[in-house]
Amino acid sequence: MSVPSGLQREVLALYRRALRMVRTKPPHTQDKFSLFVRYMFHVQASAVSPRKVSAIEHLLRRTRRQIELYENPSIRDCHISQDMRDWEQSHRRCHSQAS
């Protein structure tokens, strides 16, 4: 396996930070925050070509600001859209069929 680039390391570090943020939320909302984080990273990753460095950097800055907002202890819940729920269901079906 090749060594991750600086940009790849930044994305992974931001994803780990987002997952750590999820653990700071009330237990009954952690599943919603987890789905929100996974969905947002998936949608953004599939929306941009790996070759478009400036677009990835923009998404990193935007996502970093969004995570900073959600890290605020006063934010205790998040909205999960129907698209997110549908994505989760299809994602689970794909993984259960692959097993």
Q: Which residue has the higher pLDDT, 2 or 32?
A: 32
- How many Cβ atoms sit within 10 Å of the Cβ of residue 70? 17
Asked whether the predicted pLDDT for residue 48 surpasses 80, the reply is yes
4: pLDDT strictly greater than 60: yes
Give the SS3 label for residue 86.
helix
Q: With pLDDT > 90 as the criterion, what percentage of the chain qualifies?
A: 76
Q: What average pLDDT does range 65-75 have in this prediction?
A: 96
Phi and psi at 45, nearest 5°, equal -65, -40
Task: State how far Cα 44 lies from the chain centre.
Answer: 8
Q: What share of the chain is helix, strand, coil (3-state, %, to 5)?
A: 75, 0, 25
